[in-house]
């Protein structure tokens, strides 16, 4: 798991833009964790946009705020409850700048 210090360094090293998000920040696409993330998100989301349209924004949000979760607000959820989607972050040895976000699960409380 990567430290907050690493994220600060990464953000100072290169300004994150939507243009280079895919080169530096990714979900663990094609894994069971990612498929579970999609299922969980669609189970609770009341947003008109598909998840794939928001992925870069979600990754940029988590990296720029140096957190490993994002919140689906109760105003945007089907059950009118807040939902937190939690991730861990890894950095492959061979990748110079790539951070991969691995889905860990969803909670209704940030502290769970």
For the chain, which residues make up each domain, given as ranges? 4-107
Torsion of CA 67, 74, 83, 99, to 10 degrees: -30
Mean pLDDT of all residues belonging to the chain: 86
Query: CA 9, CA 20: separation in Å to the nearest integer?
Result: 16
Indicate the pTM of the whole model: 0.78
- Half-sphere CA count of 38, side-chain side, radius 13 A: 13
Question: Could you report the per-residue pLDDT of 48-95, keeping only the tens digit for each?
Answer: 999 999 999 999 999 999 999 999 999 999 999 999 999 999 988 776
Q: Is the dihedral of CA 90, 58, 23, 27 positive or negative?
A: positive
| pLDDT confidence tier of residue 111, bands split at 50, 70 and 90 | confident
For 90-103, the DSSP string reads: E--TT-SS-EEEEE
């Amino acid at each position: 798991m990567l430290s907050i210090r690493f994220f600060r360094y990464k953000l100072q090293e290169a300004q994150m833009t939507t243009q280079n998000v895919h080169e530096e920040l990714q979900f663990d696409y094609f894994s069971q964790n990612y498929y579970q993330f999609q299922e969980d998100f669609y189970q609770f989301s009341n947003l008109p946009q598909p998840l794939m349209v928001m992925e870069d924004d979600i990754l940029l949000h988590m990296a720029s705020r140096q957190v490993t979760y994002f919140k689906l607000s109760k105003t945007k959820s089907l059950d009118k409850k807040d939902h937190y989607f939690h991730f861990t972050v890894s950095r492959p040895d061979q990748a110079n700048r790539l951070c991969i976000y691995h889905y860990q699960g969803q909670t209704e409380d940030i502290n769970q």
